[in-house]
Amino acid sequence: MNRQVWLASILLACAAAALGQVDSEALANSQQDDESWLMYGRNYSAWRYSPLDEIDTENVGRIAPAWIFQTGESGKFQTTPLVRDGVMYVTGPSNHAWALDLKTGRELWHYSEPVPGDLPLCCGKPNRGFAILGNRLFKVNMQATLVALDATTGDVVWEVESADYRKGYSNTVAPLVVNGMVVVGIAGAEFGTRDFIDAYDAETGERRWRFWTVPGPGEPGNETWGGDSWKRGGASTWITGSYDPELNLIYWGTGNPGPDLDGAPRPGDNLYSDSMLALDADTGELRWYFQFTPHDVHDWDSVADPVLIDVEVDGQPRKALVHANRNGHFYALDRTSGEFLFARAYTEVNWADGMTSAGRPILIPGHEPTDEGTLTCPGMGGGHNWHATSYSPQTGLYYFNSGDGCQIYHGATQDFVEGEYYLGSAMENVTGEPREGSILAVDPGTGDRRWRFALVSPPTSGLLSTGGGLLFAGTAEGYFVALDAARGKPLWRLQTGGPVRAPAITYRFEGRQYVATAAGSAIIAFALPR
Amino acid sequence: MRWRVLTLFVSLAVAAAGQELERSPFHGDEASIGAGKASFRLRCSACHGIHAEGGKGPPLNRGEFSAGNRDADIYRVIAQGVPGTEMPAYGTRSTEENIWRIVSFLRTFEAVGDERVDGDAERGEALFWGAGGCGGCHKVGRRGGSYGPDLTRIGRSRSVQHLREALLDPDEDLPAGYFVVKVVTRDGKTISGIGSGIDDFSAQLRDVSGKLHSFLREDVESIEREFKSVMPSGYGESLSDQQQRDLLAYMQALRGEESR
């Protein structure tokens, strides 16, 4: 090879590498990038909508697996894969991750990190996905660490500890990259932790800011916690938020106060548990908050997707944030100010009789958990829990799933023991009344339900809507399903052989549309036959 | 601070002795007992009852335990499970300390003695396989039908109270997997039986003759799931009190030996 050809090859390689870099602009324009899936919610507004329309309501019945990747790992696969430049990046349970060749599904590299045996966990060892910036991938590990990986090799570039896992902290959230920072939440409220949202420098891993979701002494909101209960206040942040670049605000939901079911040790509203937070992206300072369930005693985390939609409410155009809460209500807020716009019950609710004009639930007495137990609807898991939702600008509908049914809530006083469950008792199912589920389509400007697809079991998967007029979902019994997004009618399904616990993604590769999802312990990519 | 010191002590003790401890290191410690109660309710109450009163699993609030009454016996059962029953091993799912806390919680119940059934197991056995007709649907060892739950080890896995309720009111607490599926076909026929599976698109069932059926929802008029037992109700009337006690005594004696 002569010198000129050699130099030209180097320059071409550099140019290709540069083209492959995911910069802030690429993230901001992710909704227009049909060949990639660059963040948890696909765009900063968390729509999980792709305009791709090669697969549509007419031909979806012919899609079939193009490849299947068997991970060989057990556990809950709840990941949203990322796609860029012919590679799919997938996280799995128990600190595993893979890079897969989009053409064949073959493994390019495998990352793993042992989970400490003494890690206190409430809910398995899932992980919900990577974030990406430049040629780096970012993921959390179960032991409350954040790692940056080289996207080409899977090698660790840096690793930081967010909190001490021995105190009950853990992490499962997919990070969100904003303004060169990696924003992550934390989990641990079932163990009496005090939780937060962190932002780390994507280049160095240095922490740039932290927002404590339970205010400390002297901070506004600390007065809503009796005594020193704020120290064990919980308010975890275990699902990815959204971001409005114009307002430079990050929106992130918070979880239950601790102990979950016993309100006696923590008199007050318990800010900012069960709330939506709007934080300045550069500083982490609180711009506004809205608390959905003050002084929660039913474990109704409010971590579900904060979805940003410009929509007409009561005849007025609003920059809205919509959110399906575990407490059984669908909410619309003004995302510039946090103003409550409206709330509508979407499943059976027996604990509140509507809302005040400010959005505070009007409580129906008799639903505090007791030693003997109280029947309350929805049950502990909701309502809509954490599973990814979707907004289709094509249909104008917002899609989310719901666990439907009630549970008996038992309360009991419990002393705090570091690293041990701090629940204040437990729930039990109602005999002869199995909890079921549904996929719902609502008008985001009114909360009116447009259709409901019933599920025999509480939902397990997230949702994806496409320009082909489709809504993709999965079921606990292993079906991967395409519904008509306008009417909710099933158009296609495949029994995958394992529970579908992840939301699907879609992308175009070599001119062909693919839809991919985790099912059981496998990743499956579907396409129309060539 | 008190619990911190205790936890340190316990950690050292557990680390040194592992499961060799005879007595829970948290014995009498209120904070640990509270944590044990919380863990019990989270992990154990679905089978043993929210107040440890028993259900699918034996009652644990009577101060006596079938596998032995020492703390170490209770620890062993929680950590290793009970083979041949639904009791799983928690040793790999929980820390040693947490299991000891549950042990300490269970030891707070005062001994009240195990419930005795004033019945004749031999007469119960004859009734089970004879006039009672139980063996037509239930298997013990290799004998009997398979439409209802296998009762080979039922005396190990169910409390007397639960067995009595199951006999007199079969709908009260269905065994896992024993729901009924009722299918109405397009030509108006109804087929029902024990559901092998049901989902959003299909159902599989086994009718009383043992025949397997599979249906797609799109091919039939309706598919419904019912949470009621196919076991006849009314044994409270058709069997005398003594016959009920005899049957319960027989079932309480079923410990799995018949399968050998």
Residue pair A389/A334 in contact by the 8 Å Cβ criterion? no
Mean pLDDT of B92-98: 81
Mean pLDDT value across residues A416-420: 87
Q: Residue A221: is its pLDDT beyond 80? A: yes
Cα A132 from chain centre: 16
* Best A415, A418, A477 residue to mutate vs chain B (most B CBs within 10 Å): A415
Instruction: Give tens-digit pLDDT for B113-149.
Output: 556 788 999 999 999 999 999 999 999 999 999 889 9
State how far the Cα of A393 lies from the Cα of A308, in Å rounded to an integer: 12
Average pLDDT over residues A492-500: 98
- Chain A interface includes B3 (CB < 8 A): yes
Looking at residue B38, its pLDDT comes to 84
| A105-137 pLDDT, tens digit each | 999 999 999 999 889 888 999 999 999 999 999
Domains of chain B: 2-106 (1.10.760.10), 121-174+232-259 (1.10.760.10), 180-226 (2.30.30.100)
Alpha-carbon gap, residue A240 to A334, rounded angstroms: 19
Q: Which residues of A are catalytic?
A: 299
User: Residue A479 CB: number of other CB atoms within 10 A?
Assistant: 22
pLDDT tens, residue by residue, A303-321: 999 999 999 999 999 999 9
Q: CA-CA distance, A253 to A321, in Å (whole number)?
A: 11
Binding-site residues on chain A for chain B (CB distance < 8 A): 118, 373, 410, 412-418, 420-426, 428, 431-434, 454-457, 475, 477-479, 481, 490, 493
Residue A386 has pLDDT above 90, yes or no: yes
- Could you give phi then psi for residue A261, rounded to 5 degrees? -110, 0
Using CA atoms, how far apart are residues A421 and A189, in angstroms rounded to an integer? 9
| CA-based nearest residue to A213, from A226, A201, A230 | A230
B179 and B225 Cβ atoms separated by less than 8 Å: yes
- The answer to whether A431 contacts B172, with C-beta atoms less than 8 Å apart, is yes
Residues from chain B contacting residue A412 (CB–CB below 8 Å): 34, 37-38, 41
Q: What pLDDT is recorded for position A20?
A: 60
In the predicted model, is pLDDT for residue A291 greater than 90?
yes
pLDDT for B23 equals 85
Q: Closest Cα of chain B to A431: distance in Å?
A: 7
Residue indicated by tokens 């064990």: A232
A5 has a pLDDT exceeding 60: no
- Per the prediction, chain B carries an average pLDDT of 85
pLDDT in tens, B72-88: 999 999 999 988 788 88
Question: Is the CA virtual torsion A453, A456, A458, A461 positive or negative?
Answer: negative
> Cβ contacts (< 8 Å) between A454 and chain B: which residues?
200
Question: pLDDT by residue (tens digit) across A336-367?
Answer: 999 999 999 999 999 999 999 999 999 999 99
Nearby residues of A442 by Cβ (< 8 Å), 6 or more positions away: A330, A344, A346, A397, A398, A400, A448, A449, A450
CATH superfamily to which A45-527 belongs: Quinoprotein alcohol dehydrogenase-like superfamily (2.140.10.10)
Q: What is the ipTM of this complex?
A: 0.85
Judge: A431–B173 Cβ closer than 8 Å, yes or no. Answer: yes
Structure tokens at A22: 């995911």
CB-based contact A414 B46, cutoff 8 Å? no
**Residue of A228, A414, A452, A494 to mutate for B, most B C-beta atoms under 10 A:** A414
> What per-residue confidence (pLDDT) applies to B114?
53
Query: Out of A181-185, A331-335, B150-154, B240-244, which region has the weakest mean confidence (pLDDT)?
Result: B150-154
Alpha-carbon distances, residue A474 vs A293, A355, A496 (angstroms) = 29, 33, 10
B93 pLDDT band (50/70/90 cuts)?
A: confident
A415 and B37 within 8 Å at the Cβ level: the answer is: no
Are the beta carbons of B39 and A421 separated by less than 8 Å?
yes
Name chain A contacts of B3, Cβ cutoff 8 Å: 415, 417
**Is A423:A259 a contact under the CB 8 Å cutoff?**
yes
Using a CB-CB distance cutoff of 8 angstroms, which residues of chain B are in contact with residue A432? 171, 174, 227-228
3-state secondary structure of A186: coil
Q: Tell me the mean pLDDT in the region A159-172.
A: 97
Taking contacts as CB-CB distances below 8 angstroms, the residues of chain A near B32 are 417
The count of other CB atoms within 10 Å of the CB of residue A73 is 16
- pLDDT band for A16, please (50, 70, 90 cuts): very low
B15 contacts chain A (CB < 8 A): no
- For the segment A52-73, the average pLDDT, to the nearest whole number, is 98
Q: What is the band of B259 on the pLDDT scale with cuts at 50, 70, 90?
A: very low
* pLDDT the model gives residue B97: 87
| Rg for chain A, CA atoms, rounded | 22
